[in-house]
Amino acid sequence: MGTGFLFQFCPRCGEALAPERPCPACGYRQYRNPVAVVAGVLLSSEDALPSPGRSIAPGQATHILLVRRSGTHAGAWCIPCGYVDYEEDIRAAAAREMREETGLRVAVEEICAVKSNAHDPENRTVGIWFFVRYLGGAIRAGDDASEAAFAPLRNPPSELAFPTDREVIEALARAGQESGGRSARGAGE
Residues interacting with Zn ion, by CB under 5 A? 10, 12-13, 15, 23, 25-26, 28
Compute the least distance from the CB of residue 17 to Zn ion, in Å: 8
Contact present, 9 and 99 (Cβ < 8 Å): no
If the CB atoms of residues 25 and 114 are measured against Zn ion, the closer one turns out to be 25
Contact present, 62 and 36 (Cβ < 8 Å): no
Distance CA 98, CA 92 (A): 10
DSSP code per residue over 86-130: TTS-HHHHHHHHHHHHH--EEEEEEEEEEEEE-SSTTS-EEEEEE
If the CB atoms of residues 30 and 179 are measured against Zn ion, the closer one turns out to be 30
Compute the least distance from the CB of residue 10 to Zn ion, in Å: 3
Distance CA 38, CA 123 (A): 15
If the CB atoms of residues 19 and 136 are measured against Zn ion, the closer one turns out to be 19
Compute the least distance from the CB of residue 15 to Zn ion, in Å: 5
If the CB atoms of residues 2 and 52 are measured against Zn ion, the closer one turns out to be 2
Compute the least distance from the CB of residue 21 to Zn ion, in Å: 11
Query: Over the range 83-122, which residues count as b (16 or more CB within 10 Å of their CB) and which as e?
Result: ebeeeeeebebbbbbbbebbbbebebeeebbebebeeeee
If the CB atoms of residues 9 and 83 are measured against Zn ion, the closer one turns out to be 9
Compute the least distance from the CB of residue 4 to Zn ion, in Å: 15
CA-based nearest residue to 58, from 188, 189, 176, 166:
176
